Structure formats: structure tokens, C-alpha cells
Amino acid sequence: MSFKLVRKWVSRLTTYLLFAVLIAMAVVVVSSKASGGEPEIAGYQLKTVLSGSMEPGIQTGSLIAVKPGGDMTRFTDGDVITFMDQEEKLITHRITEVVTSGDQVMYRTKGDNNNAEDLEPVLSQNVVAEYTGFTIPYIGYLVNFAQSQNGAFLLLIPGILLLCYSGLTIWRTLGEIEKQNKKETKNLEEGQSLSS
């Protein structure tokens, strides 16, 4: 395989990868701005994990998918839920015990990496969603940054550069096609003049 061919494939692969990342980030940022909260795709919310309480299963900085809605009293021991604590902060922890008191359902929870259970039980009405098991390590840092004002601005720069690069690539390709057409036309004209 020639060096030129390898360079061509690496260039194409890099372009496709950059476009995929740019489109994914644009979808995440636009969906979060449109919903006024966390990004949502196909009914799943994407949340950034900012603590190590669920390591090693869910690493700090991971992006996780959670499924909101449904009956929030349906969970059992071992399920991982996302809930709102008393300080209005979202937490994702594992259920260690289901406590029923009359019509009220509460969950005792614990982070997998924590030594003890959480101090306060979680009321079922404070449960926001169920963790689906989908995790992408470290991407959460990028999403968190992209949702900030500075991040949204800085993401425009690679987007603009990528568009410029794409425009240059298209312009070069059109130039090569035009050269090839001129060459074919010239060869065709020479062939006709030789036969006459």
C-alpha cells in the first residue's frame, strides 16, 4: 500500500471522526438548551457524574444514561437510581433496602464506593430516574464544559475550523474533477482530429 493511499484514508477517517464528535456535541448542547436542563435523547436523559461515590462501576467524569418517568415505587434492592437530595442536588446511588410505611415507599441508598449508607432515606417522589447501565467514561467532563458559556463558545472554534477544512477539501475535489474532465475532453478532441 502506498504512502499516499494511507495518508488519504487517515485524512478521511479523521474528518469523519471530527464530524461525528462535533455532531454528537451539538446534539447534546442543543437538546440540553432546548429542554432547559439535562440533555435528552430518545427518552433517556444524559447526566454527568461529578463524584467518585459509584466507582469503579461509574467513574468520575462519566456520562450516564438514565430513564425518567414511570412508577417510582417499583424499585428493588440493587437497582441504581438517580434522586434529588435535600440540598436539591442530583445523586445516583444503589438501593440497599426498600422501606414501606403505609402508602409511603422509601429507599435506603449507598454509593458503591462509600463506606456507609446515605444518612437520609430517599422518598419515592424524590426519585428522578433509573440508571440504565449505559456509561461513557470521561465524556461527562466535556459535556459539562460544553454546557457552560465558555465551553459553548470554544466549541464553535473547532466547528468553524472543521467547516473550513471541509470546504477546502470539497474545493480541491471539484478542481481535480474539473482537471479530469478537461483532460478527457482534450483526449476526445485529439482522438476525433486523428480519425478525420
CB neighbours of residue 95 within 10 Å = 19
DSSP type of residue 120: S
Residue whose C-alpha cell reads 444503589 in the numeric block: 94
Is 196 catalytic? The answer is no
Question: What are the Cα distances from residue 19, in Å, to 23, 35, 37, 167?
Answer: 6, 24, 25, 13
124 neighbors 105 (Cβ within 8 angstroms): yes
Q: Which of 51, 62, 101, 196 is catalytic?
A: 51
Q: What is the dihedral of CA 187, 192, 194, 196, to 10 degrees?
A: -170
Q: How many angstroms separate the first and last alpha carbons of the chain?
A: 43
Residues marked as catalytic: 51
